[in-house]
Amino acid sequence: MSKDEKIPEEISNFLNENQVATLCFTDENKNPYCINCFYVFDDENEILIFKSSPGTNHHLMIQGGHKVAGTILPMKVDVLKLKGIQFTAEILKENHLTAYHTSTTYYKKNPFALAVPGYVWAVHLHTMKFTDNTVVFAKKMLWQTNKKQS
């Protein structure tokens, strides 16, 4: 497992080729709640940027510093050629959202999202397990960082 190294090219390419993630939050009682969302990957800052609509269940659970988990799969899944990522992350606090220009980055890739009210958020990736059955069945690549956002 690589620590504090750049995200491997295979993982970065996969994140850039796809656009929908499942994110799992927990509420104040530690009950899990999952959403599917469009995301944009910012390789330089090791973050996934997504948008949340006001008034949703998960919007109430989004607070900077909370940990989340998620998955990313391609839009079409072929079991023998499956590729996918499982990850853990931390929701960025508002000062990081501004510093990383997350709204600009998100709307540049998803201009249609400007028509929908909501807030742009980001998660800083902590760990990723990339499965790639196209090379060798059940090939796994692990990545993690010790960099913490404050």
Residue 86 lies in a domain: yes
Span 79-102, average pLDDT: 90
Residue 78 lies in a domain: yes
Query: What domain range includes position 75?
Result: 2-144
| Mean per-residue pLDDT of the chain | 88
Residue 94 lies in a domain: yes
Q: What is the maximum alpha-carbon separation in the chain?
A: 44
Residue 71 lies in a domain: yes
Q: What is the number of structural domains in the chain?
A: 1
The pLDDT assigned to 17 comes to: 95
Residue 112 lies in a domain: yes
Q: With 70 as the cut, is the pLDDT of residue 1 above it?
A: no
Span 9-25, average pLDDT: 95
What CATH number corresponds to the domain at position 81?
2.30.110.10
Residue 150 lies in a domain: no
Q: Report residue 101's pLDDT band, with 50, 70 and 90 as the boundaries.
A: very high
CB under 8 Å to 1, separation ≥6 — which residues? Answer: 142, 143, 144
Residue 62 lies in a domain: yes
